[in-house]
Every structure is written in structure tokens, then in C-alpha cells.
Structure 1
Amino acid sequence: MARLYLIRHGKPAAAWGGDDDDPGLDETGQAQARAARDWLLALPPAERPTKVVSSPLRRCRETAEPTAQALGVTLEIDERVGEIPTPVALAAAERGPWLRKSFAGTWAEIEGDLDYDAWRHSITASLAARGNTAVFSHYVATNAVVSQLTGDPAVVVFRPDHASITVLETDGTDLVLVAKGREATTGVL
């Protein structure tokens, strides 16, 4: 079985719902990115990632870059591990309330123009097909994977902290949760 590491991005320079919809990392986030890299590099060679994948958003790319550089690999961008898509008709100012309402429910209850249950299945399927890989993603995407693997229909099944590393295993078809990453002591904000 190959090991996958699903890493939430480091602490961004701006909170979601702010003016910058694609913030990079602040100083704490940069330190968290280096700590994630160091943790991954300390793994036994057979478990160490050989590929690094990131959401297209800047906070994920900046969290992934130290690991990709240390491993000497090209950072692969994969939209499938990106942020939860916002409904098309939703104004930017409405994203925060929409997310808060979505977080309180199940995948089937999320309002929008997308099948969000199918969205979470597509993330999990994209991960199952990978070998030893470090995947840098987001709070909701990580919850999408963990909720599917545990059979819990809730959108939020745990609160992965910034740079939290969730460990998964795959045989190329099936994906198994080995360990949830470190949980945050505060909310998403």
C-alpha cells in the first residue's frame, strides 16, 4: 500500500471572506510549511512522498513548495484538491454565510448548483489513484475525504489545523484513513 499525506495549507496572510480571495502565507504559515516538509522528510524512505501535489490556490502552493524543493520534484497543480466550489450565482460577500451554513449540515444538504456529494467523491477518487504523494489542500477538501472514508455524511467531521497532516493509504483503487491530522483548537477563521 502506498502512503498519501493530505496536508492542509499553512496559516494564510488573510482569513477567508476577506478582501484577498487568494492570500499567500503569513510568517507563521511559512514556518508551518517548513515544519510539514521536515516531518515528511523524516519519514522512512519507503513511506516518504515521491510526488508533491497542490491545490491551485496560493496558500497551498506556498505550503507545498518547501517539500517539492527538498524532494527535488516539480510541484503538480491539481484543481480536484482545490477549495469547495462556490455556487455561481453567489456574490463574494455571501460566501462566508454560505460556508457557515454548509459546515453545519451534510454533503447532500449543501445548497448550490453543484452535486457536492459527487465533488467529495471525485477528490477521494483522485487521491486513491496516486502513489506515495504529499497533497496540499484545504479544510473542506480534507473533510470531504475523511467524511467519505469514515462514512459520516457531515460536512465537518474534524477540524484540521493549519499544516495538519492526515495520513492515508491506497492500493491504487481503494483509499483508507490511517490517521487524522492534528486538530485546531479554534474555528476555521
Structure 2
Amino acid sequence: MAGMNALQWLILTRHGESTGNLAYQAVHGTDAEEAGIPERDADVPLSGTGRAQAAKLGRWLAALPEDERPTLVVSSPYLRALDTAETALARTSYAAPDGLRIRVDERLRDREQGILQDLTALGVKNRFPAEADRLHRLGKFYYRPPGGESWADLALRLRSFYRDLQADAPGGRALVVAHDAIVVMTRYLVEELTEREVMEIEKEPIANASVTRWRHDGSGLAADCYNDCGHLTAAGPAASTGRR
């Protein structure tokens, strides 16, 4: 994505473990059709582990060399992402009130599932068999659930977000705190991947509070690390394979 070349560093992280992640883990491998998450998606909070992960992310940010530290921070408006950003930034010396403030942008929200929200794969198959068939026929990238978004839809709003970001902060170092789908589709845009390539990458879960970075190498943004959890190892497993 040519416009991204104006950034010096682009750092992405997925939010820390949420109670929604735990709900999906609890029903994995069972005959449950719903995850049973009581909140609307925007209000799903961090778990205790998620808050600890966010704090470790903050300590990693605080230890970055000065020329790699973010000059702006943008977060999804969803509670689990915004709390991750606030918790992490509070562990640094360059946070508000005298330093960086967190900007919120709704284009960084998680991919909307529409009528399939909160359903397990079995729930989709049993309650909406025609949608399960349509997903199989179209493929995950272009399938749009009724009232929801396809991965291609997500790419469209992210193109708009990153155009504005590079215009607002040419040469800047941006930290984006969002969701697993945002991390995957940012890689699709930055590295100009194909549908096949990005859907293969998507099979590997993005770990909670993991770090993915690109840096400008003189000609464009080049990959520095992907889905890295080195800063979280003291807390044990950093990844949560549960959706949301």
C-alpha cells in the first residue's frame, strides 16, 4: 500500500485476553451453539490475564529505543482494545497528561459478524445452514454474513484509515491497538498479499497483546516481526485462540 510508505514505524497489537476469548474457549469442542457472551461486542472487557498482558506490553513499549517509540497511538473504540492501550501506555514515561494521548477510530473496530454474532461454528451450521453453505462456496475472504462484514469489507475501511494516518503523521511512528482481524488485514495491505496468501496466514491465531511491526527501509515498510510474544513469556502462554 503505497501511502503507508510515509510512516517510519507501524506497530500493531491485538488487545489482551478478554472475557469473550474465555467464553469461546469454554465451549470449544462441545455441542454448544452459542458462546454465551452477555455484553455487546463493543463492551466485552479484558480478563485479569488480559490486564496483566497489557501491562507487560506497556513495559516493552517503555523499553523501546527513543527512535522506535510511538509518536501517536490509535485504538479501536471497543473496550478490550481501549483498555489495553490505556493500561500499556500508563507504563511508559511518554504517556498523557504531558505526552501521548490515545486517539480512537471506529474504523479499527473488530469485524462485524451480523446475525452470526456469538455463534459457534456448530451454531452457524445448525441455525443458518444456508449461510454455512454460502461461506463454503464463496470462501472466507468474500463471504459477508447478513448484517456483517466480509474480510474484503474490512480491507476497504482499513485503506481509508491508513490513508488518513499517513497524511496526519508523515514520518511518524504509529502504534495501533485493535483486534486479530485488523492485524491480519493490515499485513494484507502493507505487504500487498493475495487472497490466498492472507487466508493462509489467518489460520495462525494472533496472540493477545502480541506485537507486529513494520519499519521504513528507505523504499517502503518492511516487516520487522509478526505475532511476536517475547515480551509476554514470563506470564506463560500469551495466545488466546478464542474468537473476539
Deviation for aligned residue 1:176 = 4.2
What is aligned with 1:77?
104
CA distance in 2, matches of 1:116, 1:185: 22
What is aligned with 1:117?
152
CA distance in 2, matches of 1:29, 1:185: 10
Encode CA deviations 1:4-56: one digit per residue, 9 max, x unaligned.
11000001133364222322112111111011111112111111102111101
Residue 87 of structure 2 is aligned with which of 54, 57, 66?
66
What is aligned with 2:113?
86
Give the 3 Å change call, closer, same or farther, for CA 152–186 of structure 1 in structure 2: farther
The answer to whether the Cα contact below 8 Å between 1:124 and 1:175 also exists between their aligned partners in 2 is no
What is aligned with 2:20?
14
TM norm structure 1? 0.79
Deviation for aligned residue 1:175 = 4.8
Give the secondary-structure state (helix, strand or coil) at the position aligned to 1:109.
coil
Gaps of 5+ in 2: 1-6, 25-34, 125-131, 230-237
Encode CA deviations 1:32-88: one digit per residue, 9 max, x unaligned.
10111111121111111021111011100110003333322221111111100233x
Gaps of 5+ in 1: none
Tell me which structure has the larger Cα radius of gyration: 2
Matching residue's letter, 2:111: I
What is aligned with 2:212?
166
Q: Which moved more, 1:33-42 or 1:178-187?
A: 178-187
Question: Does structure 1 residue 108 correspond to structure 2 residue 142?
Answer: yes
TM norm structure 2? 0.63
Give the secondary-structure state (helix, strand or coil) at the position aligned to 2:228.
coil
What is aligned with 1:126?
161
What is aligned with 2:235?
none
Deviation for aligned residue 1:177 = 3.3
Counting aligned pairs with the same residue, the percent is 23
Answer 1 or 2: which has greater helix percent: 2
